[in-house]
Amino acid sequence: IVLTELRAMKRENEALSRDIDTDIAKLGELKEGKTSVVHTIFDEKLKLEGAERKLAKQHEDLESVKNDLDTLNEQKHELTRKEAELRAKESRLGRVTAEFMSAEDVLSTLKSEIDSSDDTPTSDLRSKLANLENRRDSLVAERAVLNKEIQNLHPVYEKGVCSVCGQAVQNKEEFKNHIESKRERLAIAERESNEVTSAISDAKDKISASERRMQASKMYDDAVKKKTDVEDEKLQLTNDTETLSADIDALRPSLERYDKIAGDIRYYEKLVHEAQAEKHAIEKNISKLEQHVENFESHINEVNKRIEQKEAAKKKAVRITDLVNWFDPFNALMETMEKHV
């Protein structure tokens, strides 16, 4: 019975260990497959490093072109600003030039007015006018007195009798001469009064002209200052427009590259997109290969486990064979003893 059980166990373990060589061969194939995939992963990682360097270079080139475009955009905005400023200054320069010419015309008119007028100080003219007015008032009073005296003397002369004392006029001819003398004095006073009145009018005209001259002189000074200010502004505007024109001329050549740079950006963006796609494709392939490695390792572990089990069964079968071989002589002896008994 023991031998029967041992032989059954032997057959069972021999059956378990029967395909161990196949498993070992399969294990070798799996390891070779894993090694091949690992090498492929290594190659793909080298390709990935190259793709990453390429992508970094494309990014760097793209950023460089973008920086160039940013610089050109700034220059473009600066050009637009300077052109607008130039137009404004040129427009202002036109108005200032007109103001300058107008100021020259005003100065010429004022100078003619000043040169043609009396330069006697207004204070002297006013003093002279005051004296004339005093003289006029004195003459008016004198004329009034003479008129009164003539009016009083004339009836006495005609009647020959004084209306106050009633005395007769002794010498009418002398009395007449006295009246004529007063009339002559009155005529002289009237002529002088007319002259003084004319002189007063002339003095007033001169004062008015002097005041206009003073005003014209002030306006002339203001016009000179305005002309100077306008001339300075004109010179500054002229310099500014020349500077702006030079700046604009300097900016234009660089801006001719604008369309090319914009095209370069599209080109480098395309290169970056292609490099990214290449990198993602390699990463995806590496991920698949690493999954294959995991699968190989899983199969290798399974086969290793089977091989270990089969080797253990094989060893067990060998021990059982040894036991069976050890029991065989006793089995033959027992059969012989059973026959004789």
* Tens digit of each residue's pLDDT (9 = 90 or more) over 207-220: 777 676 677 667 76
**1: Cβ contacts below 8 Å, ≥ 6 apart:** none
Q: How confident is the model at residue 288 (pLDDT cuts 50, 70, 90)?
A: very high
Per-residue tokens: 245: 């024109």
Over residues 258-263, the mean pLDDT reads: 74
Average pLDDT, rounded, for the chain: 76
Q: Residue 95 pLDDT > 70, yes or no? A: yes
- What pLDDT is stored for residue 337 in this prediction? 65
Over residues 282-295, the mean pLDDT reads: 89
- What pLDDT is stored for residue 161 in this prediction? 57
| Unique residue bearing structure tokens 């955009």 | 73
Q: How confident is the model at residue 221 (pLDDT cuts 50, 70, 90)?
A: confident
Please tell me the distance from the alpha carbon of residue 47 to that of residue 203, in angstroms, as a whole number: 112
- What pLDDT is stored for residue 240 in this prediction? 81
- What pLDDT is stored for residue 186 in this prediction? 83
Over residues 104-119, the mean pLDDT reads: 65
- What pLDDT is stored for residue 93 in this prediction? 75
Do 133 and 200 touch, CB atoms closer than 8 A? yes
- Comparing 83 with 339, the larger pLDDT belongs to 83
- Comparing 185 with 154, the larger pLDDT belongs to 185
- Comparing 80 with 218, the larger pLDDT belongs to 80
Share of the chain above pLDDT 90, in %: 2
Please tell me the distance from the alpha carbon of residue 33 to that of residue 36, in angstroms, as a whole number: 5
Per-residue tokens: 7: 């032989």
* Cross-strand bridge partners of residue 168: 161
Phi, psi at 257, each rounded to 5°: -85, -5
Q: How confident is the model at residue 17 (pLDDT cuts 50, 70, 90)?
A: low
- Comparing 82 with 106, the larger pLDDT belongs to 82
- What pLDDT is stored for residue 280 in this prediction? 92
Q: 3-state SS string over the chain?
A: CHHHHHHHHHHHHHHHCCCHHHHHHHHHHHHHHHHHHHHHHHHHHHHHHHHHHHHHHHHHHHHHHHHHHHHHHHHHHHHHHHHHHHHHHHHHHHHHHHHHHHHHHHHHHHHHHHHHCCCCCHHHHHHHHHHHHHHHHHHHHHHHHHHHHHHHHHHHHHHCECCCCCCECCCHHHHHHHHHHHHHHHHHHHHHHHHHHHHHHHHHHHHHHHHHHHHHHHHHHHHHHHHHHHHHHHHHHHHHHHHHHHHHHHHHHHHCCHHHHHHHHHHHHHHHHHHHHHHHHHHHHHHHHHHHHHHHHHHHHHHHHHHHHHHHHHHHHHHHHHHHHHHHHHHHHHHHHHHHC
Q: How confident is the model at residue 284 (pLDDT cuts 50, 70, 90)?
A: very high
Q: Residue 115 pLDDT > 70, yes or no? A: no
Query: What string of DSSP letters covers 127-144?
Result: HHHHHHHHHHHHHHHHHH
The letter for the amino acid at 9 is M
Do 300 and 35 touch, CB atoms closer than 8 A? no
Q: What is the CA radius of gyration of the chain?
A: 69
**Chain-centroid distance, C-alpha 34:** 63
Determine which of 35-49, 160-174, 206-220 has the lowest per-residue pLDDT on average: 160-174
- What pLDDT is stored for residue 160 in this prediction? 62
Q: Residue 1 pLDDT > 60, yes or no? A: no
Please tell me the distance from the alpha carbon of residue 296 to that of residue 38, in angstroms, as a whole number: 10
Over residues 2-23, the mean pLDDT reads: 62
- What pLDDT is stored for residue 28 in this prediction? 85
Q: How many residues does the chain have?
A: 341
- Comparing 77 with 23, the larger pLDDT belongs to 77
Over residues 168-188, the mean pLDDT reads: 75
Over residues 294-316, the mean pLDDT reads: 80
Share of the chain above pLDDT 70, in %: 70
The highest-confidence range among 6-15, 39-48, 102-111, 321-330, by mean pLDDT, is 39-48
- Comparing 119 with 85, the larger pLDDT belongs to 85
